[in-house]
Structure 1
Amino acid sequence: MHFLKVIAQDRSGNGSADTVAFQFFEGEQLQREATGADRQQLKSFGKTYLKCAWYNADEAEERHLRIFSQNPSADGTPETVRLHFHDGPRIAYKAAVRDLDNDGVFEWVLSSDVDNDGRANRTDRSRVKALAKEFLKLDWR
């Protein structure tokens, strides 16, 4: 299983993330860091992720997102995208989307307060869907 690990950091100490790092994994093995071409493709993903306010102070990496897809029907197209928001080794919270009829539209969204504003609402669901859509566009070569 491959996943994208996203790490946001507040290196300037101003109370909001100012850097985002992307790492491509296969299993638990780091395959590569994001390159310049990847960064262009990940620009929209990064902007949406920063709205989740899940970042580290300084250069810490404990808080991060692991996002991955699953294809339980084994037809070659992912039906589920899962988002695991980690705080160190512990998963602090999860979110997921599901394309029930394999038409490219997410009919099912499971989300908590992913933007950490104190409310689990439509905005959280739309952010989860946007992150999932951007993730599925990635080139894993």
Structure 2
Amino acid sequence: MRYLKVIAQDRSGHQAADTLQFLFFDGGQLLGEATLADRQRLRVLGKTYLKCAWSNAGSSDARHLRIFAENPSADGSPELVRLHFHDGPQIAYKAAARDLDNDGELELILSSDVDNDGHANRTDRARVRTMAKEFLRLGWK
């Protein structure tokens, strides 16, 4: 399975993430880190992820997001994007965006409180939709 791992870190100790890493994996094997061109394309995804308040103190990578696409119909276009928010080896919570009719639009968003503000609401669904769309724009499915 191919996925993007996003890691936010507070290396300065100012109680806010100041470093973002984007790592590409295939079958659990690291393929590489995002290039400068990739980082430009990942800017919106990164800003949205930072709003989820899922970061690490120092250089830890225990808390991270794994985002990947699935193509159950095997027609070559993804119908499902999954977001797994990890805390160490465990998945703390999940979210998903689904294209129900394979028209390229994500019609169904399933999420809990992904921004950790105490409420699972429209804002959470909007953040999931944005991250899923930005991931798909990479063309890395």
CA distance in 2, matches of 1:66, 1:132: 11
Q: Distance in 2 between matches of 1:108 and 1:44?
A: 21
- CA–CA distance in 1 between the matches of 2:68 and 2:139? 13
Percent identity (aligned): 71
Residue 139 of structure 1: how far off its partner (Å): 4.2
CA distance in 1, matches of 2:99, 2:34: 27
Shift of 1:3: 0.2
2:102 aligned with 1:92, yes or no? no
Map of 2:69 onto structure 1: 69
1:7-18 paired onto structure 2 within 5 Å: 7-18=7-18
What is the rounded CA distance, in whole Å, between the counterparts of 1:14 and 1:75 in structure 2? Answer: 47
TM-score, normalization by structure 1: 0.97
| Per-residue CA distance 1:51-83 (angstroms, 9 max, x = gap) | 000000011000000000000000000000000
Could you tell me the TM-score, scaled by structure 2's length?
Answer: 0.97
SS in 1 for 2:85: strand
Runs of 4 or more above 2 Å deviation: none
Matched, 1:119 2:119: yes
How many residues matched?
Answer: 141
Compute the displacement of 1:106 (Å).
1.3
In the TM superposition, residue 4 of structure 1 has moved relative to its aligned partner by 0.1
SS in 1 for 2:77: coil
Pairwise CA RMSD? 1.1
Consecutive unaligned residues in structure 2, runs of 5 or more:
none
Measure, in 2, the Cα distance between the counterparts of 1:121 and 1:13.
Answer: 30
